[in-house]
Amino acid sequence: CDFTASGLSLKFFEEFISNEVLPEYANVHSFLAGMSCQTTTYRNDAKNIIKEAVNASDDDALIFCGSGTTGAIHKLIHNINLNEAPIVLVGPFEHHSNLLPWRHLAQKVIRLKTNSDGGVSMSYLEDALRAESKTAKKLGCQILVCLSAASNVTGILVDTNAASSLVHRYGGIIFWDYATAAPYVEMNMNPPSKGGDSYKDALFFSVHKFVGGPQTPGILVAKKRLFEAGETFPHQSGGGTVNFVRREHTSYFKEVEVREEGGTPAIIESIRAGMVIQLKEAIGTRLIQKREEDLVHIAWSRFAECPNLVILGGSKAKRIAIFSFLVRHTRGSYVKDSKYREDNCLFIHHDFICALLNDLFGIQSRSGCACAGPYALDLLGINEEMAISYEDTLISKDNEEIFDHKILRPGFTRVNLPFFYPDEEIDFIIDAIIFIAKYAWTFLPFYELDQNTGQWRYCKDKRTDMSKHLSYISYDQGVMRWRKPTSKSAGPVPSSHAECLSLAKSLQQSLESVLRKSNFGVTNERVDRYWLHSKYNNLRWFLLSSEAAADARGLPRPASQYPNTGSPWHPGCIERCFCPDLAKTDNESLLRLCKYTNARGMNPMGDGKYAHYKKVSRNDNYYNNLGRSSSEGSTESNSGGDVVCFPRGSNYSRVSPTRVISRSPRIGRLGTCERNPNNYQIPRNMMSSYRNSSSSPKRYSSSGEAGWYSPPPPLMRPTVQAIRLFSMIQAGDRVLIHLSGGKSSMALLHCLHEYQNILLQENSDPTNKNIFEIGAVVVALPYENYDLQPLISYLKSLGVTFYYERQDMNTYCSHSLDLCSSVKQRVIYNVARRYGYNVLALAQNLDEMAASFLSSVFNNGSIQTMEANVELKDLNLRLIRPLAFCRENVIASFVDNAKLPVLKTICPICEQSRLEQNRLKEMLVTEEFNNPNLFSSIVNAISPLLHLSSQSDVVMETDTTTKVVSWTK
């Protein structure tokens, strides 16, 4: 029942290929030999069959791509001729294959809403097109709309003709993902319509999802005009794509279908694809769709018998027979009627449901999120704040999966009811699902979980790996032989579906009687003990084995160190506000801000309008509140926030508003935030920005001036947080940046320039009096190979004010390890006072702050580190470190991708102290591997030290002949 993922082979297909196609197989790049001609004929026939099935015209090209839809989408993206990054609108239930590539290409991606029935909201689509067409016209870019013809999670269908007509009326281009829908519905590239605008610009699908489809390529059918970019350079240039190649020039074929299938194609696979589509056409789309409608009706009528079976997506929208579900468990043996409370309700783990369907009934299903993460979060009722909590718990900051937490990943179980199954088998599948929904919890204490693999296995199943391996094949006697793994039979195979259900019921009753015995011990005790004493237990949504055993005996559930009051989320509880509307650009300040935040403006009323977010006024400063805990209350209106219902006793509030946008800033300050002097805890969500995740930049877009780059969110977000949390920069400040030529100082220059742009957007003062100034100082020391010329040239190209200072080292004591530091700081202080700068910006990052902290503890026996904001009274200067919360690897990634000039020469005097710092950093790397949350803990530990001055009004005394507050540690 997992044809949604991939179909099964058909014996008569494989026999035809084995007997008729393979004996005459040859490469299609040759047309002179008979076998090559025959193979080419088969392949051309396959193309013609598919073209006819999708009603392709002479203006359409059909290309075989890779092994599925993903390859087709990437080929299409490569070939689109776009002068500017497009604005992309995607559907609410897109597969990752039709979502992630556009995120890397588009200047912004807008996710559409669903309507009250669960389908794509056409009114919302039109509102989005109306607004974005104006923006696209101003920017000179194209609007692309990418929709799925059917959801791979719920099977909900979309009116492809209506959506295509609507998009074309606003001048957009629309692409259709038929990966899920293709085996069951009609695909028509050029349907008849009154206005002639319901055509599809492109469609793509995976033939392997059809019955008979394994070992087939993906299919891309698109208008030939979309392949302009490929005329210069095809997606896969190689053999068969060229007209003529000489020593210094290449002429590619003009014909798209020839040019875009470079190299030896998947010949047999293409022929098989033609046979698969031919079979579908022979059956008839109308017959298939009628059967799908009947199956959906049968399923809904039967599923109504089981109130604790939660089917996702609702029953109103038209769908194909794909069902994703959860099994809800409440206290007591099982739910006997539909009147029960959701309080303290947990779910049976979807992976366990999948294993039980397989073990008891031999039914193949799929568990997880079905590669449609955002839609899965919508369906499960998980808002963005909670999703961040799960992400931080599941993944380390190095993007490594935390295996012990793998079980915590939310999801569901998916099955589909194949149209070619007889009614008897359909009834059996539905009976099995209902049985599992009622009794799965009684099997749970008898199963053991492997947390590394996520595999559930029955405790009495002593069989080892039953997989077959290629290593079992042998040619040692001149012939091919293979052995089959020996297995101990688990008993006779049931002779009928009815007998299989009867045996499952008998086993359930037997296990339930064992479960009620006082001396019974659960199999999964280690996993249960881990979660009952885990600080993440409040995020647990699934029933533990020991809890199931306690419910069976009517006893209290095991006590836990960190209480769990039930699942923190419930399907259907999140209002229809699935789209982050912050992408709308009628407020440029908000657009710029949302690029660096996790905020999502939602519409809790679900009225279908396009824009529902709180606009940022002149005094509305989003970053003011990034230093606050996410649980902090607000007096602001909840307009524009997610409204999410949670069970009583949950650690999440019932109303989860958008993060507070603005309280009035203090007079004379730019973006400063109020701090509680007794609380220096750094919020955990601050640490999530350090992870080198998908939010890392794909490209660097100019911020409007030549040479400047906009740092990506994982770098810019913690920078802004540090500036605002520690009140580093105030109105009218003149900030001097020390440019050493290292990666951190180069990143700091671009971050402060970008912060200037943010403030310009936030403040409407045309005189810009409230915006700070930046300058840079470069100190040249007389070392061999100390070439600063590339850095100087780069600063000139940026147009930034900078000061180039040479310094002779002969007058200083060469034995001092702090010599270089002392010389540089004296020069920098002199430059600052000479030219009227009141703030010095240094580029130490979080890794260096942590190393400084350890060095102080290890070598000096004191607890201190470099401070984030220090006032130097005798010099009338403030020293700030805006990168105090930024990870070194994120900084390096930005500098490398932007190709910023970096000085590689290391001062020989500083080399010894560098070695010490690197040793400490290596120690931290080793420890971080074992403790992924290490830096989160370090930040919380050193946060009081980072703003000692502001905390106690103590001014750090300085000595200009030595060093200032250990700023070079």
599-625 in b/e burial notation, b at 16+ Cβ within 10 A? bbbbbbebebebbbbbebeeebbbbbb
Q: At 883, list the tokens.
A: 């990168």
Of 24, 15, 415, 13, give the one whose Cα is nearest residue 216: 13
- Which pairs count as long-range contacts for 926-932, CB under 8 Å and 24+ apart, including other chains? 928/397, 928/398, 932/396, 932/397, 932/398, 932/400, 932/402
CATH fold of 287-461+499-553, please?
Answer: Aspartate Aminotransferase, domain 1 (3.90.1150)
Helix 525-532 with 545-553: angle, nearest 10 deg:
100
Average pLDDT score over the chain: 75
Q: How many helices (H) and strands (E) does the chain have?
A: 28, 26
Q: Output the pLDDT for position 162.
A: 93
Per DSSP, what are the bridge partners of residue 447?
458
251-294 confidence digits (pLDDT tens): 777 777 777 776 677 889 999 999 999 999 999 999 999 999 99
Q: Look at residue 645 and give its three-state secondary structure.
A: coil
Residue 474 identity (one-letter amino acid) = S
**At a CB cut-off of 8 Å and minimum separation 6, what does 696 contact?**
712, 714, 890, 893
Distances (CA, A) of 829 to 500, 779, 841, 878: 84, 12, 12, 11
Instruction: Indicate the domain borders of the chain.
Output: 11-283, 287-461+499-553, 575-664, 702-952
Total-model pTM: 0.59
Do 310 and 442 contact (CB within 8 A), yes or no? no
Q: At 564, list the tokens.
A: 């769990």
CATH fold of 11-283, please?
Answer: Aspartate Aminotransferase; domain 2 (3.40.640)
Do 466 and 391 contact (CB within 8 A), yes or no? no
User: What DSSP state is assigned to residue 730?
Assistant: B
Distances (CA, A) of 928 to 390, 397, 429, 689, 847: 20, 9, 47, 16, 12
Of 889, 899, 904, 902, give the one whose Cα is nearest residue 707: 899
Distances (CA, A) of 91 to 125, 177, 432, 682, 703: 9, 10, 33, 36, 29
Do 363 and 1 contact (CB within 8 A), yes or no? yes
Cβ of 720: how many Cβ atoms within 10 Å? 24
3-state secondary structure 458-503: ECCCCCCCCCCCHHHEECCCCCCEECCCCCCCCCCCCCCHHHHHHH
Q: Output the pLDDT for position 871.
A: 82
Cβ of 938: how many Cβ atoms within 10 Å? 22
User: How far, in Å, CA of 707 to CA of 434, rounded?
Assistant: 63
Do 61 and 231 contact (CB within 8 A), yes or no? no
Cβ of 225: how many Cβ atoms within 10 Å? 12
50-75 confidence digits (pLDDT tens): 999 999 999 999 999 887 888 888 88
Q: Output the pLDDT for position 576.
A: 31
Q: Output the pLDDT for position 861.
A: 66
User: How far, in Å, CA of 777 to CA of 548, rounded?
Assistant: 67
User: What DSSP state is assigned to residue 545?
Assistant: H
Helix 423-443 with 285-303: angle, nearest 10 deg:
40
Q: Provide the strand spans (E) within 653-801.
A: 655-656, 734-738, 773-780
668-703 confidence digits (pLDDT tens): 222 223 333 333 333 333 333 333 333 333 333 434
CATH code for the structural domain at 702-952: 3.40.50.620
Q: Output the pLDDT for position 909.
A: 52
3-state helix, strand, coil in the chain (%, to 5): 40, 15, 45
User: How far, in Å, CA of 626 to CA of 658, rounded?
Assistant: 12
Q: Output the pLDDT for position 451.
A: 76
Site of tokens 């030896």: 264
Q: Look at residue 819 and give its three-state secondary structure.
A: helix
Q: At 741, list the tokens.
A: 């030529």
- Mark the ranges of the chain whose per-residue pLDDT is less than 50: 332-343, 573-704, 810-819, 948-969
Cβ of 775: how many Cβ atoms within 10 Å? 18
Distances (CA, A) of 484 to 64, 259, 469, 481: 36, 45, 9, 10
Largest separation between any pair of C-alpha atoms in the chain: 97
Q: At 324, list the tokens.
A: 């994703």
Distances (CA, A) of 127 to 92, 132, 440, 608: 15, 9, 46, 9
